[in-house]
Structure 1
Amino acid sequence: MTKNIETERLILRCFLPEDALQIHPLFCDDEAMRLVGMYPAFTKLKQTQERIGRWAGNPRRLAIVLKNSNKVIGYVAVDSREEKCEDTKELGFAINEKCRRKGYIREAVTAIQETLKMGGVKYLWACCFEENAASENFIRSMDFKFQKRGTYAAINDRTYVSLEFMKEL
């Protein structure tokens, strides 16, 4: 995924270094970062600038941008599920608290799925921590099927029970 993906309300594109200021509130959100395994949350803009500097230009880390304001409100991550397995990817996402429950993640994930399918991806995984009921409900609502429980050892935090879901595209 190297070109922008556009939906009715969103543009999904590679991060730019200047996006750090807009995405910083998400990376400072203790609860959101804990639930995506990036805890502890950042306390300084410099930390966000360093992360976005690493993500900038990476087609596996896409900024979710509102078309009407050009504001970065979250991200979608698309990674290889297993080495040398190009037909299987894993999805991750997070969005600013003020933008939740407005259908933005559903819109972004639907567009990502369509793009991946056109690119030959056959299987898409999505995982969430067992305690993250909102993400679990969302993943299930997108027709992902529960596969198994796993574990995820988060950096600087603890080991979480992970619920792993898969969808055939």
Structure 2
Amino acid sequence: MQIETERLILRPFQPEDGEGLYEYLSDAEVVRYEPYTPMSPEEAREEAGRRAKNNDFWAVCKKDGQLIGNLYFSKGDFNTWELGYVFNRKYWGNGYASESAQALLDVAFREWDVRRVVAMCDPKNTASWRLMERLGMRREGELKQNVYFFCNEEGDPIWKDTYEYGLLREEWI
């Protein structure tokens, strides 16, 4: 399946998307709040192969085919889906994340009968939680020291807080 907007195409990942994925997943600023470190070209190629086999990842491309980011949309319990996004820094501030997420949410709520969508981010990631709010999501809570991705030199977890946002189908429709 493919979803088109005025400027973008959302499509499944393909194994050959490794180079485009590397362009943004190798950027430390882009992956700053992600649970992984910047990727090498080989890691990005492997990741493209994994994502090509996983329906939870959507490649976000400009109409010319240029991969500029991705959405994550995964089904959980009780017909609740989780939304996530990562975009190439060269395209930040142009509305691409908002446009692609709106298109995916619209299809999800109108055609797939999704009941609820949640999204989470680090409270320091202002651009992310502002996007969630532009999408009409409401902040449902702030979880304190609920997750860690990395450890310090002594092997102790580096705990992070999380904002959690939610949106119901009837709020979208």
TM-score (structure 2 length as normaliser)? 0.87
Identity of aligned residues (%): 26
Per the normalisation by structure 1, the TM-score is 0.89
Residue 9 of structure 1 is matched in structure 2 by 7
Alignment of 1:75 with 2:70, yes or no, is yes
Equivalent of 1:154, from 143, 149, 164?
149
Gapped runs of 5+ residues in structure 2? 153-157
Q: Moved runs in structure 1, 4+ residues, more than 3 A?
A: 155-158
Query: How many angstroms does 1:155 deviate by?
Result: 5.1
Within 1, Cα distance between the matches of 2:69 and 2:23? 10
Alpha-carbon offset, residue 25 of structure 1: 1.7
When the two chains are superposed, the root-mean-square deviation of aligned CA atoms in Å is 1.5
The separation in 2 between residues aligned to 1:19 and 1:26, in whole angstroms, is 12
Length, aligned pairs only: 161
Aligned to 1:52: 48
Pair member with larger Rg:
2
> 1:32 and 1:156, CA in 2 relative to 1: closer, same or farther beyond 3 A?
farther
Which segments of 5 or more consecutive residues in structure 1 lack a partner in the other structure?
none
Which structure is richer in relative contact order (CA contacts within 8 A, separation 6 or more)? Answer: 1
The residue identity in structure 2 corresponding to 1:167 is L
Measure how far apart 1:59 and its partner are: 1.9
Instruction: Give me the whole-angstrom Cα distance separating, in 2, the residues matched to 1:45 and 1:140.
Output: 34
Residue matched to 1:30: 28
